Amino acid sequence: MNPSRLDTLLLWLWLALLAVGLIAVTSASMELAASRHGDAFHHLWRHGVYLVLAAAVFLGVVSVSIASWAHLDRACLVLAVALLALVLVPGLGREVNGSLRWIAVGPISLQPSEPVRFLLVIYLAGYVARHQDIITTRLMGLLRPLAWLSIPSVLLLAQPDLGSVVVIMAAAVALLFLSGARVLHLLLLTAVALGSLVALISMRDYRTARLQAFLDPWAPDVQFGSGYQLTQALIAFGRGEWFGVGLGEGLQKLFYLPEAHTDFIFAVIAEETGVLGALLLCAALLAVTLRGLWHGRMAQRRGATMAAGVAYGAALMLGIQTLISLGVNTGLLPTKGLTLPLVSYGGNSLIISSALVALLVRVAWENAGHAEHPRRARQREVLA
């Protein structure tokens, strides 16, 4: 690859977010690691290994052309369904905190919902590239890919993992919109999706309890129950004020805030770096999403439908998950277990988020190469 064609801004944002995540994970997990594992740096060492693996996957993905992925879109859908089905196989699936979301093979644990997001981006981009005509004219053009996505969605709900379903379906609908689908068709689908979401929440008592806690987390009957995580996160934001209490000086991570180094790491960052640090982190995450959408637009303008779909899908997967994670941490959305991309502790999330950024970098590289062709042609004309 020609380094001059790389999107250096996107690369620096990726590296900066990984660095912030390493520092934040170390700060948020030291007391927990010392208590559980007898080594305050237990999560730091593991996160370092995940960073190396994420970098290796990043380099691997960025070296593959978008045209190569176009031949694998259907296979990616089949693989996504197979991975989610394996979780339900006795002896392979492992239950953690009441959810059957992991595949355990020896010392290696895989959370299928993470690679599934990457695989479904490829599938959706391939579908858009093959069926651009019916997507823009017929409702069936939208229903067909969403019907196929219902299969992995049902498997995710069986774990249960409603959060991943929301991210995937929201990204799919947004991708179809950016690909030229009619607004009326999308409004109909959105209404059906919202109705289904309400039904899914009402079917499970713990989801209803989370919704009640979201509406009033300080109520006496939920403050130390379903609303406990949210109230502790809000306390962290309040303690951080404008400039924070200082790195490593936060109190909420000291066994007050559950999942401080994973789902609620943003609250820890806000406590220790304040509003200023939290806003800078939000700006960096927003910049990654917007940069990806811009590259998708550039690919769309040059007629590269597959590349546009890949960029749109990857950016939306990252952006929507970021939006939900930040919303949960700040109390703007009901509590749901979702990591903050590129920042939270967790090898699966870190690797797949880096792979999605790699797709954006690859699309940007191909866009830059296409833009060079007219200049080269003019140079040859001058020399001739």
Tokens of residue 57, six digits: 């996957």
pLDDT surpasses 60 at 384: no
Residue 110 sits at φ, ψ, to 5 deg, of: -115, 130
- Could you read off the pLDDT of 318-357 as tens digits, one per residue? 999 999 999 989 988 887 778 999 999 988 999 999 999 9
**CA angle (132 as vertex; 127, 138 as ends), nearest 5:** 100
pLDDT value of position 126:
92
Task: Tell me the pLDDT band of 299, cut-offs 50, 70 and 90.
Answer: very high
User: How much is the average pLDDT of 250-277?
Assistant: 89
Residue 181 to residues 46, 141, 163, 197, 312, Cα–Cα distance (Å)? 43, 9, 25, 22, 14
Query: Peptide bond before 90: cis, by omega within 30 degrees of 0?
Result: no
pLDDT in tens, 165-184: 889 989 998 998 888 878 88
Does residue 103 sit within a domain? yes
CA atoms within 13 A on the CB side of 307: 26
* CA atoms of 369 and 302, how far apart (whole Å): 11
What are the two backbone dihedrals, phi and then psi, of residue 30, each rounded to the nearest 5 degrees? -60, -45
Reported as a pLDDT band with limits 50, 70 and 90, residue 205 is low
- With cut-offs at 50, 70 and 90, classify the pLDDT of residue 266: very high
In a domain, 314, yes or no: yes
Q: How far is 12 from 360, CA to CA, in rounded Å?
A: 13
Q: How many domains does the chain fold into?
A: 1
Q: Please give the Cα distance from 252 to 257 (Å, whole number).
A: 5
Of 28-37, 228-237, 279-288, where does the model show the most confidence? 279-288
376 within some domain: no
Which domain, by its residues, includes 134?
A: 3-370
Which residues make Cβ contacts (< 8 Å) with residue 59, sequence separation at least 6?
358
Tokens linked to 245: 């209490």
Report residue 188 as tokens.
């109909």
Please name the residues in contact with 223: beta carbons below 8 A apart, sequence gap of 6 or more.
217, 231
Is the pLDDT assigned to residue 208 strictly greater than 80?
A: no
Lowest mean pLDDT across 138-142, 215-219, 267-271: 215-219
pLDDT of residue 383: 39
Within 10 angstroms of residue 364's Cβ, the number of other Cβ atoms is 27
Residue 198 lies in a domain: yes
- 3-state DSSP of the chain: CCHHHCCHHHHHHHHHHHHHHHHHHHHHHHHHHHHHHCCCCHHHHHHHHHHHHHHHHHHHHHCCCHHHHHCCHHHHHHHHHHHHHHHCCCCCEEEECCEEEEEEECCEEECCHHHHHHHHHHHHHHHHHHCHHHHCCCCHHHHHHHHHHHHHHHHHHCCCCHHHHHHHHHHHHHHHHHCCCCHHHHHHHHHHHHHHHHHHHHHCHHHHHHHHHHHCCCCCCCCCCCCHHHHHHHHHHHHHCCCCCCCCCCCCCCCCCCCCCCCCHHHHHHHHHHHHHHHHHHHHHHHHHHHHHHHHHHHHHCCCHHHHHHHHHHHHHHHHHHHHHHHHHHCCCCCCCCCCCCCCCCHHHHHHHHHHHHHHHHHHHHHHHHHHHHHHHHHHHHHC
Distance CA 285, CA 142 (A): 29
Query: Does the structure show a pLDDT above 80 at 306?
Result: yes
Query: Is 70 exceeded by the pLDDT of residue 374?
Result: no
Task: Report the mean per-residue pLDDT for the chain.
Answer: 85
Task: Tell me, yes or no, whether 377 lies in a domain.
Answer: no
Establish if 381 belongs to a structural domain.
no
In a domain, 379, yes or no: no
Task: Decide if 40 is inside a domain.
Answer: yes
